[in-house]
Structure 1
Amino acid sequence: MADEEVAEQGELAITRTGDRLRLAREAAGLSLADVATRTRITQRHLKAIEKSDFSELPGRTYVTGFARAYARAVDLPEAEIGASVRRELEEDEHGSRPLYEAYEPTDPARLPTARLTWTLVIVTALLASAYGVWRFLSVEPDEALIAAQNRAAEESEAPSTAAAATVPAKAGPAGAAVAADAPVVLTGVSEVWIGFDDATGKTENWRTLDPGETYQVPPAYIEQFTLRTSIPQALKVTVGGRDVGAIGPADTLVKGISLKPADLVARAGASAPATTPAPKTNR
């Protein structure tokens, strides 16, 4: 009887998704380093997921995606884990809200004044707006946020795309021919999240690069996917050892970046500043 009570208490104690992921990892005989290798997520972030301490993750946008990747690594149903994490995020948001005293309408002495009533209405509206923004930002990367980010990226990239179409590639190293099979290598200048989108704009694969970590894009990815990242200045892109320069404005979501060597080199040539010939002097 005592053993059954202890087991029941142990089951009741496991109330967070992080506990479930940790127990699955231990049952599979995996270390955090093993899961980090499988998911390409840093051990620091994996520890935060196991503790359900989502504030330590790079942003709530990626909490659900990271948790689903962890679930795949330990053979847990990723859709169920993703839904569980979203519920926990929503519960945390509700728990952080201030509580207001309820007035009894039957007691005239305790009826709120008009000023207090308007204050409560404004505060409630602000809280509702904040909750709506949080719900929008807390969905995982392959849902509604991706669609909104795609639209924002298309609008922000429209001027640069037009410029690239009208400015011819310059002669010299930036405009030199490049082999179609030249290796495309991504290097993290600082910790950076990158994703690979299919033809429909859906992010099929994502990973985190640590500072100095390199990742050579597989040929199949080059043909089938485009690149996205939200911290362009933290990512260095080289084609055949040639740095193609910045792929977008700092701290701005960029997506739809073609990984084909010729496109990357042409993009670098189009973004290179034009040179003005020195004025001639009469002697």
Structure 2
Amino acid sequence: MADEEAAPEQGELAITRTGDRLRLAREAAGLSLADVATRTRITQRHLAAIEKSDFSELPGRTYVTGFARAYARAIDLPEAEIAAAVRRELEEEAYGARPLYEAYEPTDPARLPTARLTWTLVIITLLLASAYGVWRFLSVEPDEALIAAQNRAADESEAPDGDAATAPATKAGTSPAAVAASAPVVLTGLSEVWIGFDDAQGKTENWRTLDAGETYQVPPAYVEQFTLRTSIPQALKVTVGGRDIGPIGPADTLVKGVSLKPSDLVARAEGNGATGGAAPAARPQPKG
């Protein structure tokens, strides 16, 4: 009898992570991971990592909260509550990763690793970190049209007499209709932030991560063919012709369908009441 009474309590205690709650709600709704992936446009691999609360499997912690919000919205769970729970788990994980202090006896110097072995381990670690960075950068490859657009934009940015380098920055208060179609659109990371570009059907064709202070000038082909999406809008600054258009959405919310056309961005800026002055157009920074 004691074992039978203890079993339900153990089952309740086992459901302690936010990922378990999301998984049970999905199963109760009769949905598969593929169904949720279709609704959220998040890969099944990342959704499975969220269900396991294994945030190390995700590309970056800065938008774990955004993915969790999108998952919760897809299965009718409260987004704010799920986001708060995920933040707590991230804090607990960071606290659990701190090394504990342990008293120890002095070690026999003869048993310590040699300097050569130490440097070998350091070099191997750096090589592995570099390999991981290259793999992460190349894990999602743009199609040939996007590569061609990026190459054209790079060539234009290096041209000595290019219009983009000599054109004056757009002044605050300029009407959307007066904005030149060639005004540069620049994205700047205020902190590490994930951005994606969606086609007319809402499919994300390409994505990248901007580090804090890194800028990216949107290629002209992207401006005409794609819209912007991000899960941390407060970490992204958008300027057109040097003018800050202001926030593109509420904090910690998945924002998509943001037009990259200069006239639309200026109209959004005036709707936000943005008053940022003119600034020189930022050149695109290469990915390290």
State whether TM-score is above 0.5: no
State the TM bucket, normalised to the shorter chain: 0.3 to 0.5
TM-score when normalising by structure 1: 0.43
TM-score when normalising by structure 2: 0.43
Select the structure of larger CA radius of gyration: 1
